[in-house]
Amino acid sequence: MTNDDPDQSRTAHFLRRGYQGIVTADFKDYLRKWIPLSILIGVGAGFGALVFQWLLLAIWQLSYDTTEIPWYLRLFLPAIGGLIAGIVISRFSPESAGGGTGYVIEAIHHHGGRVRPRSGLVKILASAVTIGTGGSAGREGPIMHIGAAISSFFGDRLKLKKGDMRTFAIAGAAAGLSAVFRAPLGAAIYAIEVPYKNDLEPGAVIPSMIASVVSYLVFVPFNGYEPLFETLDIHLEMDLVIAIGIVLLGILIGLAGRLFISSMHLTERLIKRSSLPLPSKIMYGGLVVGCIGLFVPQVLGLAENEIGMLIKGSITSIGFLLILFVMKMVATSVTVGSGGSGGVFFPSLMMGGALGSAFALVLGLTPLPLFAIAGMGAMMAGVSKTPIAASVFMAEVIGGYTVLIPVMLASAVSYIVTGDQTLFRNQVARRPFIYDPGVLDEVPVELIMRGNPITLTPEMSVEDARRGTAAEPHYLYPVVNIGGIVVGVMLREVLNEHPDPSARIGYLMSRHYEKVRAGTSAYKAFEDMNTKQISRMLVVGHDNGILLGTLTRIDIMEYLEHSDEVHHLY
């Protein structure tokens, strides 16, 4: 039975068109790749965070929470832990030394997002031992390293390309942070913000948010849903006095942040010059921390209870607060700068909170917890160049957004005062794009593409393909059928390394490739490249999928440069 009703036919036609409009290639990509892999990474990072948390707490309780330990054991415990961690690191994973955040940033910028999965296991053990025996460090660096290692584990087995690996390394780092700090939004923002001094990684936003939420949901049933820190209810009226006080505090914290950065880098340089083996370096660093801990035990380990007291405004001795700031800075510089495994987030909170409280007490400003919290966020923003994440993080970890505006203001000022200085040497300051990509909006891709590219066929052997591409060694080559329609791409790396020269290209080619249809604006293609972190696309016919040429980022840049030169000929 056929339906001859023209209205119903038109309705069915529009519904099909609407469905095709909704289910775009990008949407299919999310359903097929980004969403399931982000969930997988979130689950893995959540369980990784659980293991790390349990092991860290177990070592800390064994070291300090059993009975009142004698002074000489308190002196030597950080050194013993440093020696054990140093032996594990130097024997199994040298890249696991230090904070962890810098290594993840290095992997994102220079290693295609790849972090050795084994280093994640070593990082769990080394960090738990370093911090659990009293080393002055935080959890964010290790858990970012662990999360990125988990994402690399899955990415390697699924043979993801470099752009995807970078994105998922960021998502893995976000997932780890989200769990241990119970701050999914702040963690996602921090992970996309920390690779740069003054920019973000927009392509990783959605995977990072998904992975963060999933990791949070895995972690909190075992550790509670409440915020990381409890705070008193702050009834804030943002008057002129408080605003001026927050700005002045931001300046003070920015200067203190520069001092902390200099202290950390100086320690790293001195340790690097030493000819001692890594375990000895970390052990002697632990011995210095143990000496400090004899007189100021509050600097040992995470100092989570002390940070909570600062947030509540319970510490009101100006002299002790200043001592706490200085000793925590020295202890952290020695612990992490010597190669000990741990981050700088928790130490930043203590230093910023101590200085913020002392500042408020000296000037008689109230409420005291507000200035402690603002100081914490400002210190984090200044030393790690993450003003957005610092503001959201502090609101989440104390469970209240009342402090958001003061923390934002203090963080922005501290970020400006610290300038180009940062704890993480591998952070990249993205320079502004000097050309206007808007001129590409009316330019079709076929006007910029390179026509007549070298192509391969599925029936071609590896030996023939090598011979045919020897003159032009590109990253990849389109594979087309007898009608010129693209059926895949052949990676140069696979072509060069395959052991069987008689193998057929059709069995070795990748069927996943990025394409753009003729008639698409070069601006949209350029935006897709930036979003997906890719450097080239295949240009195909609008309706038939026949290969017309290739479009690379270099082609677009050359076109923009030429357009700019023509524009300035006057």
> What local confidence, expressed as pLDDT, does residue 24 receive?
52
Q: What is the mean pLDDT of residues 443-472?
A: 90
DSSP for 125-191, please give it.
HHHHHHHHTT-S-BSHHHHHHHHHHHHHHHHHHTT--HHHHHHHHHHHHHHHHHHHHT-HHHHHHHH
Quick check: 567 pLDDT over 50? no
d(CA 22, CA 336) in angstroms, rounded, equals 50
Q: For residue range 12-26, what is the model confidence (pLDDT) as tens digits?
A: 554 455 444 445 555
Residue 431's pLDDT band (cuts 50, 70, 90) = very low
Residue 321's pLDDT band (cuts 50, 70, 90) = very high
Residue 533's pLDDT band (cuts 50, 70, 90) = confident
As a whole number, the mean pLDDT across the chain is: 88
User: Which CATH architecture is the domain 437-567 placed in?
Assistant: Roll (3.10)
Residue 132 identity (one-letter amino acid): G
Q: For residue range 499-514, what is the model confidence (pLDDT) as tens digits?
A: 999 999 999 998 888 8
CATH code: domain 34-223 is 1.10.3080.10
Same fold, 240-418 and 437-567: no
Lowest-confidence pick of 60-64, 182-186, 472-476, 548-552: 472-476
Cis-peptide into 367, omega within 30 deg: yes
- The answer to whether 255 touches 378, Cβ cutoff 8 Å, is no
Q: What is the mean pLDDT of residues 38-57?
A: 95
Q: For residue range 54-81, what is the model confidence (pLDDT) as tens digits?
A: 999 999 999 887 667 788 888 999 999 9
Nearest CA to 539 out of 508, 564, 516, 567 is that of: 516
Q: What is the mean pLDDT of residues 452-473?
A: 90
Quick check: 531 pLDDT over 90? no
- The answer to whether 386 touches 194, Cβ cutoff 8 Å, is yes
> What local confidence, expressed as pLDDT, does residue 66 receive?
66
Token pair recorded at residue 282 = 């970390």
Q: For residue range 136-168, what is the model confidence (pLDDT) as tens digits?
A: 999 999 999 999 999 999 988 888 877 788 899
Residue 306's pLDDT band (cuts 50, 70, 90) = very high
Q: For residue range 188-241, what is the model confidence (pLDDT) as tens digits?
A: 999 999 999 888 888 889 999 999 999 999 999 999 888 888 766 667 677 889
Q: What is the mean pLDDT of residues 360-369?
A: 93
Lowest-confidence pick of 128-132, 280-284, 406-410, 433-437: 433-437
Q: What is the mean pLDDT of residues 349-369?
A: 95
Residue 112's pLDDT band (cuts 50, 70, 90) = confident
Quick check: 398 pLDDT over 90? no
Neighbours of 520 (CB within 10 A): 18
Domain boundaries, the chain: 34-223, 240-418, 437-567
Strands of the sheet containing 450-451, edge to edge, are: 450-451, 547-552, 536-540, 515-517
Token pair recorded at residue 23 = 């289910």
CATH code: domain 240-418 is 1.10.3080.10
Residue 2's pLDDT band (cuts 50, 70, 90) = very low
> What local confidence, expressed as pLDDT, does residue 354 receive?
97
The model scores a pTM over 0.95: no
Quick check: 27 pLDDT over 80? no
Q: What is the mean pLDDT of residues 422-432?
A: 77
> What local confidence, expressed as pLDDT, does residue 225 receive?
87
